Structure 1
């Protein structure tokens, strides 16, 4: 920013000029902020307008935004099966955020070992079933995500165990594992594969839907969510939204095979229900995540009833 020299000061030594002093960095930022506040920045205008809305209005706006995104996916993405690959890719990127945090900060505070172990378990089970029943690009993505999750579990149990907040991560995994296994016995695929494989496949579907519960409970106890952990959980929520969007778009397309499958027994219905449950489990957190950044704080406070 150009600052003209001060007016000449006449004295015994003749006219003297004071050279312009460079503006301090923080002063420059303040000046930019003032200028931005006066200018008609559409992003700032929308952000200020959003802040003045009530909680109910913000909820409706979020639902409306989700519907708009679904419609865009419907028109733009021709092969809706690619959404599954996109979903798994977003999950893998979320693990990458955790890896960055662990390597950069050497700290695993706010991260649930229980959720990471449950994630590793359903990934390992699905990977095993994929090799025994069928394998494709999803098998490769599951392998990469399992390796990354296994490394996170190792750091939580090994090098960084001192920073692991064990007292906040108290949800008993049996509360999650036992119902998932019992449900898998009742509702599982009706394929020609061995009975054990069908049970394991159903088990990993149900376990995936609720594996994030220990992480959400831990964040709820901590009151304030650590930044990188929040990014990771939001990535999980986004991943589930994309996966659930696949089923919604298939229904919008009037997929005859999907309608036939849903009417053929309880298993296809349970798969769809699992997708919906997993999406709604993470929906509350994603709402508070987006709200915190829309308000310009980036600090996420979870209410007591989120889990």
Structure 2
């Protein structure tokens, strides 16, 4: 069952900050009578997504980002962890993660901000010993946004009004946002990523290698050696960060790519199974069904039914 974030003491500053940020975000989204999703990009790496109705659960790769709910409710599943996020609550993703999520309550409005590792690492000299402070953390952390973070994001979003302001102030405000996230209760993993030689950074490199070549058979010993870790340490920290083993992570990548190909392409189930690295189409179908709740043949059938008619 999804877990709601625990109730905390009222933060009037955060309440007002959320109101102002939501108003600024809505101002940047064009009015529409359509019921389809609206996505706008006020700045590079910054997105506003509006949904007018609930959605079904969908699996996708989440890249490092801040996901801040402004309206509605989002449910997210990461490994064995299930979260329900409402307005004013946020999820911080530090590594590329296969996740399942849906819009539970609409209207729904979310602000998405890419996490820039180079901006994070520019904080290294200023943070000093704080870089290594904190406990072991997951690649997905959730918390309520405080007034200082909301204020920084609102000012960054408002830069869409002036190219000159954006050019001069944008880098400083982006650095401030990364600093606020790093020092927030959900910032343990970001503090680890600031260091090139941390376990978190090593796992990030391993994930990048897996994503580049997820179709090929994986040799864990070689992957651990590539990122400078022993096999036992690699397994331990990979699991701690991603809540999955390297093999499970690779399987998730294969299945997500398979579904994307089946829904958008013209290939058969068997062809796609081999293309993403499976040796057995029957094993592929079993794992696909377990992952998505429906066999791959149903997604192929849906694709065929939704295709435009070629008749007169």
Q: Which has the higher strand share?
A: 2
Smaller-chain TM-score bracket: under 0.3
Q: TM-score, normalised by structure 2?
A: 0.23
Between the two structures, name the one with larger relative contact order (CA 8 Å, sep ≥ 6): 1
The structure with the largest helix share of the pair is 1
Q: TM-score, normalised by structure 1?
A: 0.24
